[in-house]
Amino acid sequence: MYILGIETSCDETGVAVYHSQQGLIGHLLYSQVKMHSEYGGVVPELASRDHIRKLVPLIKQCLTQSQLQSSDIDGIAYTAGPGLMGALLVGACTARSLAWAWNIPAVATHHMEGHLLAPMLEENAPEFPFVALLISGGHTMLVKVAGVGQYQLLGESLDDAAGEAFDKTAKMLGLGYPGGPELARLAEKGRDRFKFPRPMTDRPGLDFSFSGLKTFTMNTLHKTAQTEQDKADIAYAFQKAVAETLAIKCKRALQQTGLKRLVIAGGVSANSEIRRALQQMTQKQGARLYFPRLEFCTDNGAMIAYAGCQRLLAGQHQDLQIFARPRWPVDELLEV
Ligand code: KG4
Ligand code: ZN
């Protein structure tokens, strides 16, 4: 079964074809980063308009590169949420219309489920059950995953998401958008000079809070001369604090669930200091760490094609309605 995957929840237009037996056939991504960087962040209306321009040509290109005709496609998976409403609607309307024209089913797919299952696209895919740490621009969640659609939320951020904290801190340091990778680059030149707090690690529980860390960063910045080296040292301290906080919480989640497999996914899981901290922690715990390849950490069509394929194989899809939900709790999903 060939599944076309469509991702338009934020600032990347992602398209992919996944085959239920052969695996990933092809994938393409168009990033709007350059357009939004002028404004220092995503402008929702511009994002929607650009998805409209790019999506259909990208689908055509992806089919051609995959040496497939539209008649080969057996189902369409589109990101229905969470995300920016206008951006989601572009993907949802396009997917639903193509599915109607091609007389095939379309399935509304959860963006975070896509991230969560992205490591399944790799050769050393994790087996169920596992603990997943989802760290993106909009979410920070610890989830116990028993199977596809069997998600128990263990903890989440009470304020800023990890990626949001990276982006806002980067802005404070005068870096461009998206801030996460820029901050990581600056931190490479940083020294171990400041000690930042590890928020919410002094009390039990698996929730996160990153807004205090942001304020701490701002105060530290105001107290220094703000040379390039000062900024690099602050970036280093911030990144280390986030990485260690995530590692402490993930260790707790593994201990609490008794599981030995940890999956990390979402844009922030591309961060090498975070990967290093989690690798070290899982090794000490006798557990194993799984993550997608770098290009599938951030938003992409392949993860949506994969996640949607699992639901279509189980006979799950919607009728003719166009489905888009800017907010959509992951534990509301149907079991597969
Ligand atoms: O998953 P994603 O592509 O989009 C959302 O679903 O939000 O995640 C984007 C987030 C942004 O906040 C971006 O700054 C962050 O992931 N990010 C990183 C890195 N690469 C992307 N944060 C820290 N270090 C990185 N290397
Ligand atoms: Zn994402």
Give 129's contacts (C-beta < 8 A, 6+ positions apart).
Answer: 144, 145, 146, 147, 257, 259, 261
Cα of 245 vs centre of ligand 1, distance in Å, is 17
What is the side-by-side strand order in the sheet with 12-19?
Answer: 23-31, 12-19, 2-7, 73-81, 106-110
Q: What pLDDT is stored for residue 325 in this prediction?
A: 97
| Residue corresponding to tokens 């008794």 | 258
Cα of 10 vs centre of ligand 2, distance in Å, is 8
Taking the CA of residue 9 as reference, the ligand 1 atom at the shortest distance is 6
Q: What pLDDT is stored for residue 153 in this prediction?
A: 97
Radius of gyration of the chain (CA): 20
Mean pLDDT of 202-208: 96
202 three-class SS: coil
Q: At 80, is the pLDDT very low, low, confident or very high (cuts 50, 70, 90)?
A: very high
Q: Percentage of the chain surpassing pLDDT 90?
A: 100
Query: Which phi-psi region, left, alpha or beta, contains residue 107 (left: φ > 0; alpha: ψ -120 to 50)?
Result: beta
Q: What pLDDT is stored for residue 113 in this prediction?
A: 98
Give the model confidence (pLDDT) of 244-287 as tens digits. Answer: 999 999 999 999 999 999 999 999 999 999 999 999 999 999 99
Q: At 236, is the pLDDT very low, low, confident or very high (cuts 50, 70, 90)?
A: very high
Cα of 77 vs centre of ligand 2, distance in Å, is 16
Taking the CA of residue 161 as reference, the ligand 1 atom at the shortest distance is 12
Q: What pLDDT is stored for residue 181 in this prediction?
A: 97
Q: What pLDDT is stored for residue 303 in this prediction?
A: 98
Mutate to test the pocket of ligand 1, among 136, 177, 274, 330 (most ligand atoms within 8 A of CB): 136
Give the model confidence (pLDDT) of 22-59 as tens digits. Answer: 999 999 999 999 999 999 999 999 999 999 999 999 99
CB 215 within 8 A of CB 238: no
**Pairing mode of beta strands 288-290, 261-265:** parallel
Q: What pLDDT is stored for residue 234 in this prediction?
A: 98
Q: What pLDDT is stored for residue 58 in this prediction?
A: 98
**329 upstream amide cis, omega within 30 of 0:** no
Mean pLDDT score of the chain, rounded to an integer?
Answer: 97
Q: Fill in the amino acid letter for 258.
A: G
How far is residue 205 CA from its own chain's centroid?
Answer: 23
**Which residues are paired to 147 by β-bridges?**
150
Q: What pLDDT is stored for residue 21 in this prediction?
A: 98
Q: How far apart are CA 303 and CA 24, in angstroms?
A: 10
Q: How far apart are CA 125 and CA 261, in angstroms?
A: 11
Q: How far apart are CA 78 and CA 322, in angstroms?
A: 10
20 three-class SS: coil
Cα of 21 vs centre of ligand 1, distance in Å, is 30
Question: Phi and psi dihedrals of 102, rounded to 5?
Answer: -90, -5
Q: What pLDDT is stored for residue 283 in this prediction?
A: 98
Q: Percentage of the chain surpassing pLDDT 70?
A: 100
Q: How far apart are CA 92 and CA 98, in angstroms?
A: 10
pTM: 0.97
CB 322 within 8 A of CB 120: no
Mean pLDDT of 72-83: 98
Q: Which residues surround ligand 2, an ion (CB under 5 A)?
A: 136, 299
Measured by CA distance, the residue closest to atom 8 of ligand 1 is: 267
Q: Fill in the amino acid letter for 138.
A: G
CB 4 within 8 A of CB 53: no
Mean pLDDT of 194-218: 96
| Residues having CB within 6 Å of any atom of ligand 1 | 10, 136-138, 163, 166-167, 178-181, 184, 266-268, 270-271, 298-299
Cα of 249 vs centre of ligand 1, distance in Å, is 19
Question: Phi and psi dihedrals of 86, rounded to 5?
Answer: -60, -45
How far is residue 224 CA from its own chain's centroid?
Answer: 34
Give the model confidence (pLDDT) of 135-192 as tens digits. Answer: 999 999 999 999 999 999 999 999 999 999 999 999 999 999 999 999 999 999 999 9
Cα of 154 vs centre of ligand 2, distance in Å, is 19
- How many angstroms separate the most distant Cα atoms in the chain? 64
